[in-house]
């Protein structure tokens, strides 16, 4: 069975022949077969024609490119809003730090005033102490110039701190005279405190 060209063309014509009229019929009958899809296609076609006449973008890529300015504006506005909120936050932090700084400055000034008054009072006490040291030295000389019998009752009435101070400020002769005028137990106590 040999197939020649003529028979092959006849078979192809029988297969392809009915397909072509069916495609043409489907093209013309499409609006009646699927009305919803037909309406969508017509709307899309009208939009494309209108956008071509206006010079507007026709594809989705062109539409996105056209919206890039609005996208940039939106991103820019969001960035500005974020920066403003950060700026407001930093201003509030700065204000609170300024308040703390002022409070610390006030404390420092108070401490400086307090320190100045304390230094003034220590100067006064040192001056008073110098005066009292001079007076003490004079009183000690006059006291220790007494005889041991006259000195003993006076020293008995003095506190231990005063006796220790007399001993520390006195010369070696005055120290010996002071120890001689004390009772033995009080003299031992004095020596423990001094040594």
d(CA 59, CA 66): 11
Residue 16 in any domain: the answer is yes
How does DSSP classify residue 145? T
Task: Report whether pLDDT(23) > 60.
Answer: yes
- Say if residue 76 is in the same domain as residue 114: yes
Of 171 and 55, which is predicted with more confidence?
171
Range of the domain at 16: 1-35
End-to-end CA distance of the chain: 147
Shared domain for 122 and 78, answered yes or no, is yes
Does residue 60 lie within any of the structural domains? no
Total count of domains within the chain: 3
- The long-range contacts involving 182-185, CB below 8 angstroms and separated by at least 24 positions, are 182/152, 182/155, 183/156
Q: Quote the radius of gyration of the chain (alpha carbons, Å).
A: 59
Q: Is the pLDDT score of 57 beyond 60?
A: no
Is 61 a member of any domain?
no
45-72 average pLDDT score: 66
Domain boundary among 97, 129, 161: 129
């Amino acid at each position: 069975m040999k197939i020649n060209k003529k028979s092959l063309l006849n078979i192809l014509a029988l297969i392809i022949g009915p397909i072509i009229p069916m495609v043409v019929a489907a093209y013309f009958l499409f609006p009646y077969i699927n009305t919803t899809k037909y309406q969508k296609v017509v709307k899309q076609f009208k939009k494309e024609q209108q956008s071509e006449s206006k010079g507007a973008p026709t594809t989705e890529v062109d539409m996105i490119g056209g919206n890039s300015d609005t996208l940039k504006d939106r991103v820019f506005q969001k960035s500005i809003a974020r920066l403003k909120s950060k700026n407001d936050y930093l201003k509030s932090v700065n204000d609170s730090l300024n308040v703390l700084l002022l409070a610390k400055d006030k404390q420092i000034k108070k401490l400086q005033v307090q320190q100045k008054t304390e230094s003034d009072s220590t100067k006064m006490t040192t001056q008073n102490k110098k005066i009292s040291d001079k007076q003490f030295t004079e009183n000690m000389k006059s006291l220790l110039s007494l005889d041991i019998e006259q000195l003993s009752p006076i020293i008995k009435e003095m506190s231990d701190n005063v006796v220790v101070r007399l001993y520390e400020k006195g010369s070696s002769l005055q120290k010996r005279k002071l120890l001689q005028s004390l009772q033995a137990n009080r003299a031992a106590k004095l020596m423990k405190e001094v040594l």
